[in-house]
Structure 1
Amino acid sequence: MKIAIILFNLGGPDSPEAVQPFLKNLFSDPAIISLPSLLRLPLARFISSRRTPKAKKIYDQIGGSSPILGQTEAQARALEEALGGEHEWRGYVCMRYWHPMTEAVVRSVKRFAPDRIVLLPLYPQFSTTTTDSSVKAWKAVAAAAKLTVPTQTVCCYPDGPGFIAASVDLVKQGLAEAGSGPIRVLFSAHGLPEKVIKRGDPYQAQVERTAQAIARQIGGLDWSVCYQSRVGPLKWIGPATDTEIRRAGADGRSIVLYPLAFVSEHSETLVELDIDYRHLAEKSGVPVYVRVPAVGTHPSFIGGLADLVRSILADPQVAVCHGATVMPCGSQHLGCPLASKAIAGGL
């Protein structure tokens, strides 16, 4: 059997010239700016034009481009290897805002002519702004291309065993590097505007679920969840990562910071966390600042992804599954495909 696995990620500019079109694609997404297209598209052009000079300076600090594509390709190859020879597996990297984008990947998958397709977001925690946006784009393009292959979606895995095992291992390494003395673990995730969460997006609840699972397995941690990468005038969920860094400094705590919502390195880890927040930690009197790497191709993480793929393929009648030990969303999380279906009486 031929099986295509579509690994979704946001993508990133592959050259300085790609920064503005990448940003334009990002802000053109109705999942990011929920306005009619007549207003959203001109606004996206304006925002991307305004933000490009600052964004280019950020990418200049890591060589002028994002490393996310190469890392995601490595994850796809590692996943193929972990799945073994039972079927003909082929992993496809599908980026939302820069190449390879959905249209090109659908064409490649159609040429492969798979018997089954598994959509596998590299976002452990579900959000309408990430997973839902990527899946909707895939379904629309696949339908237009008449790619009529049985398709199943892994929607989230906030406390999936493989993801948590990899995270625990990496955080423990960070704790060992930090040495003796009081330490606070900061679980930092990309933030969202508060209004997105109030509309029923489960992302914040799932981020907290991930942090709790990691902390529970390690035990005895002084820890908190915080959110980074705030932009624009809207009120965002908190506490902010920079606020928590200053608080740790005031409390005389060293910091072990783990980006628990990112599975690969990019500007928000390599610049915001490694450079900007490290400098802030030094200014704030933090004795030791250790940034834990993202899970990347950690064997436990890749093994967990393989288990998710095998699990959903084992039941062809299940269209959407998740990797949590119990249902990770409540009835208030209308953005979750499983919660909204359950409320409608479909589960």
Structure 2
Amino acid sequence: MNAPVRPSAFKRDLSAEAFPPEHPAVNFGRIGVLLVNLGTPDGHDKKNMRKYLKEFLSDSRVIETPKIIWWPLLNGIILNVRPKKSGALYASIWNEELDESPLRTFTRSQSDQLTERMGDVSHLEIDWGMRYGNPSIESRLKALQEKGCERILIFPLYPQYSAATTATVNDKAFDALKKMRWMPATRTVPAYHDDPSYIDALAISIQKHLDSLDFKPEHIVASYHGIPKSYFTKGDPYHCHCQKTSRLLKERMGWDEGFLITTFQSRFGPEEWLQPYTDKTVEKLAHEGVKRICVVNPGFSSDCLETLEEIAGEVREEFEDNGGEHFSHIPCLNDGPEGVDLIETIVRRELQGWI
């Protein structure tokens, strides 16, 4: 087998002397890693929320309704009503110190910590971006290329694959690459829903949280972001990936059958989504006399609106209003040691042959 090609082996004479005087020198010989998360508005005011929601809800991977039906609804009703409501929700979780959403704070920190950990690879550039909002995928790919990255690893931070998440990140990345005269060689990180390092990271993080509580939960609810049921019937593997994550986590933790309950949250519109629904499940548990539960979000790499406001806020209230007494939201892996360990493990593996 041929030995992997090292960066030094494909360096060329691209110094300033190799070009006519009117051309600048070209950077080369570096490798890039781009961490990508879902996205965030630049602010929670109506203008910024409208801009963010329009980009998000215009994505045909997210909303598969024919545009002739969807666009009048989106532009005539939704974008005139939803920005104010969503802005108020974002305001309730906003990082006021940095004037940004927690998702941006965590993703930047993950990138910064990964840069420090990968310091042994001298020719590596690590950056981060968002599928919706800023910093955009296109802007960060351009920045990496300008720094001399001829090979780039794109890392969608979604453990479970869905066309509405992982695929749309890759779509946007390749749309940007199509515009480049000199396109870098590119790899994308696959789903890691059943990766032992991911299951271990979840298990360690969850156990730390459980050890910090003053109560013992009767159930733990694993709440994943939902997708319309029709996407699943068309062949999206997301539901299967979520179920496998839950099964492996249950086995890793040694929990009894029925202790971990898998549910789906954040449904939108009149269409049926993956079930069981998180809010209805938690309400049912309370009605059945369950007094103590924890909710964990294995499908989110970082806490965001859907975990901090919807789960830790709304779902908590539903449980307590219906008779529940003790509720705890287990934080996502975020930029904690388990989360960054996981990202580093995956990046080093996916860069094999390049570094």
> What is the TM-score when the length of structure 1 is the normalising length?
0.85
Where does residue 264 of structure 1 map in the other structure? 302
**Equivalent residue runs for 1:100-249 within 5 Å:** 100-181=135-216, 183-221=218-256, 222-249=259-286
Contact 2:125 2:144 in 1 (8 A): no
Moved more, 53-62 or 303-312: 303-312
Q: Secondary structure at the match of 1:97?
A: strand
Matches within 5 A, 1:36-115: 40-46=70-76, 47-63=78-94, 66-115=101-150
SS at match of 1:10: strand
Instruction: Measure, in 2, the Cα distance between the counterparts of 1:267 and 1:99.
Output: 16
Give the count of matched residue pairs: 316
Query: What is the alpha-carbon distance in structure 1 between the residues aligned to residue 139 and residue 67 of structure 2?
Result: 23
**In structure 2, the residue corresponding to 1:289 is in which secondary structure?**
strand
> What residue identity is the alignment partner of 2:51?
P
Equivalent-residue separation in structure 1 for 2:237 and 2:282 (angstroms):
25
Give the CA deviation at 1:268.
1.0
Give the match for residue 26 of structure 2: none
Structure 2 residue aligned with 1:7, among 30, 35, 46? 35
Helix, strand or coil at the partner of 2:190:
strand
Structure 1, 4-13 or 125-134: larger mean CA deviation: 4-13
- Asked if 2 retains the 8 angstrom alpha-carbon contact of 1:165 and 1:301, the reply is no
Letter in 1 for 2:89: I
CA contact (8 A) 1:125 1:158 kept: yes
CA contact (8 A) 2:289 2:323 kept: no
Name the SS of the counterpart of 1:96 in structure 2: strand
Structure 1: how far apart are the matches of 2:311 and 2:217?
Answer: 21
For 1:256 and 1:137, how far apart are their aligned partners in 2? 36
Residues 290/3 of structure 1: CA separation in 2 closer, same or farther (3 Å cut) = same
User: What is the Cα deviation at residue 245 of structure 1?
Assistant: 0.9
Quick check: which has more Rg, 1 or 2?
Answer: 2
Query: Using the alignment, how far apart are the partners of 2:121 and 2:212 within structure 1?
Result: 40
Rounded to whole Å, the distance in 2 between the matches of 1:209 and 1:35 is 29
**8 Å contact from structure 1 (residues 115, 149) kept in 2:** yes
Which amino acid in structure 2 is aligned with residue 104 of structure 1? S
The DSSP-based 3-state class of the residue aligned with 1:232 is coil
Residue 313 (str. 1) matches residue 313 (str. 2): no
Matched residues in 2 for 1:42 and 1:92: separation? 37
> Please, which moves more after superposition, 295-304 or 273-282?
295-304
Matches within 5 A, 1:320-339: none
Unmatched 5+ stretches in structure 2:
1-6, 8-29
Aligned to 2:61, the other structure's residue is in SS state coil
Letter in 1 for 2:86: A
RMSD between aligned alpha carbons? 2.0
Percent of paired sites with the same residue = 27
Q: TM-score, normalised by structure 2?
A: 0.83
CA contact (8 A) 2:154 2:188 kept: yes
For 1:27, the aligned partner's letter is: L
Q: Is the 8 A contact 1:259 1:269 kept in 2?
A: yes
Give me the whole-angstrom Cα distance separating, in 2, the residues matched to 1:147 and 1:241: 47
Equivalent position to 1:21, from 46, 51, 67: 51
User: Unpaired runs of 5+ in structure 1?
Assistant: 317-347
Which among 266, 271, 286 is matched to residue 324 of structure 2? 286
The answer to whether the Cα contact below 8 Å between 1:248 and 1:254 also exists between their aligned partners in 2 is: no
State the 1:263 CA deviation.
1.1
- Contact preservation (8 Å) 1:187, 1:224: yes
